[in-house]
Structure 1
């Protein structure tokens, strides 16, 4: 397999092709015409493209590569950054980055990117817009609150802010309804399974479906927990260092926060989560550590009900079959 490294920006992307003992680079426009020109130079039987996850700028290229049948991998930028440090690279240009990404692909042979369904792509866009609208609403409300104590108030400014708040609230409600409609139409079964778990509501269930591509991206719950960023880190070296540290925090911050909030409810009403919380608190663990453990248990429960296609039964205890039988 021949690996092509790609460094993407908004308007262009640089591709590094193997050439002799090194690489040659070529720049293409990051639009449909430029991407088709790039694809015309590839052979789907031998070429594998590797690129960093750079927001939305890489997805048109990924989409057209997928439609053409050419393998492509999307790499966490942190991996490329750390690889650059390992290789002691002192020069950072688009061409050098493309060569570095190609070398990373050649050494580590990353798995091909699993392109999400169109429904998941639409849901991700709606989720992004909804999050931004909520941030704007909070900022506008804070601005209005800061103006109200002033002795001399500009009524036009206050009215403008109030109208903006009303508009944002309507748009947020509309976008939430749109997301619920898509999830109900396409992922109705998964939504019902997830919301059968005490502690997981429609909003969190929808976020989990989006993050997992309808639970198709991960093979087990541990992979999902690591992706979300709620797995504890461990530092061990010789006899002097042996630390079980904080969570890794590598994933979606919003989803991680939603799980943490849901864990509070689950620790009170979900029997397995409540037992987990009380057990850890009884061992002297802090409330925050115990709550993170509950959030992890919620993830495991969510993964279990979807993969088994069975609704959650509160207090259910699995029994292993007798090996003697």
Structure 2
């Protein structure tokens, strides 16, 4: 298998057909025509394409490569960046980056990317819009608050801001209802299983389904917690460094915040989560650390009920330890 490195930008993408310095590179337009022109230069049985996850810029390329049955890996840019540091790379151009990505593929042999279903793509777009609407609502409310302390608040400005707040609140409510409706329609069984867990509501359940592709992207709960950025970090070196750091904070910060809030709710109603929190607090752990641990437990419970296809039973203890 020959690994092909691809450096993607908004208008074009550069392809390195090998990692060798003398290897051929070529630039294609990041359009349907350009991608199909590139696909004609490679073989589904001989080539494995590797590229960084660059948001919407790489979406078309990944989709058309997957449709053509060509193996493609979509890697976290941080992995490529750290790999470049390990290779002591000091020069950065699109061609060099493409060759570096090809070399990364040869050395690391990344797993193939699983193309998201249409329903997951739609849900993801709606969640992105919802997140931005909420940010705009917070900003507008803050603006109102900053103007209210002035000696004179212009009535016209106040009316405009209040109308904007009402509009944003309606849009947010409508978008949340659409997300819930779509998730219930496409993933009803998973939604029912997830919401059987005390502490997980329909909004969080839908967010988990989007993040995991219907729980198909991960083999176990540990992989999922690491992806969500809830895994604790640890640094140890010799006798001078022995530090238990913060969580790794990778992945979707919005979903991580939702899990953190859900963890507080679960302390009242979820027997296992409450026991976990109390045990850690009695062992002297800070409150925030204990809450993060509870969020991790919620993720493990969510992964368990969906993969096993059984609703959550509060207080149930598995015989497997």
Alignment correspondent of 2:232:
232
Give the deviation of 1:102 after TM superposition: 0.8
Give the deviation of 1:95 after TM superposition: 1.2
**Distance in 2 between the 1:259 and 1:154 partners?**
40
Matched, 1:56 2:59: no
Query: Quick check: 2:147–2:153 contact (8 Å CA) kept in 1?
Result: yes
Query: Quick check: 2:194–2:302 contact (8 Å CA) kept in 1?
Result: yes
What value does the CA root-mean-square deviation take over the aligned residues? 1.5
Give the deviation of 1:320 after TM superposition: 5.3
Equivalent residue runs for 1:60-209 within 5 Å? 60-209=60-209
| Residue-by-residue CA offset, 1:268-322 (whole Å, 9 max, x unaligned) | 221111111111111111111111111111111111111111111101122359x
**Distance in 1 between the 2:70 and 2:107 partners?**
19
Give the deviation of 1:101 after TM superposition: 0.5
Alignment correspondent of 2:36:
36
| TM-score, normalization by structure 2 | 0.96
**Cα distance change, pair 293–77 in 1 and its aligned pair in 2 (3 A):** same
Give the deviation of 1:244 after TM superposition: 2.3
Give the length in aligned residue pairs.
321
Alignment correspondent of 1:297:
297
Query: Quick check: 2:51–2:75 contact (8 Å CA) kept in 1?
Result: yes
| TM-score, normalization by structure 1 | 0.95
Any idea what SS the aligned residue of 2:15 has? strand
Query: Quick check: 2:13–2:29 contact (8 Å CA) kept in 1?
Result: yes
Alignment correspondent of 2:46:
46
Structure 1 residues without counterparts, runs of 5 or longer? none
**Distance in 1 between the 2:19 and 2:74 partners?**
23
Query: Quick check: 2:264–2:291 contact (8 Å CA) kept in 1?
Result: yes
**Bigger CA drift: 20-29 or 209-218?**
20-29
Any idea what SS the aligned residue of 1:161 has? helix
Give the deviation of 1:159 after TM superposition: 2.0
**Distance in 2 between the 1:183 and 1:101 partners?**
36
Query: Quick check: 2:272–2:315 contact (8 Å CA) kept in 1?
Result: yes
Alignment correspondent of 2:267:
267
**Cα distance change, pair 179–26 in 1 and its aligned pair in 2 (3 A):** same
**Cα distance change, pair 152–238 in 1 and its aligned pair in 2 (3 A):** closer
**Distance in 2 between the 1:89 and 1:19 partners?**
13
**Distance in 1 between the 2:39 and 2:27 partners?**
13
Any idea what SS the aligned residue of 1:23 has? coil
Give the deviation of 1:19 after TM superposition: 7.8
Give the deviation of 1:20 after TM superposition: 6.4
Any idea what SS the aligned residue of 2:306 has? helix
Query: Quick check: 2:116–2:213 contact (8 Å CA) kept in 1?
Result: yes
Structure 2 residues without counterparts, runs of 5 or longer? none
| Residue-by-residue CA offset, 1:92-146 (whole Å, 9 max, x unaligned) | 1111111111111111111110111110000000000000011111111111222
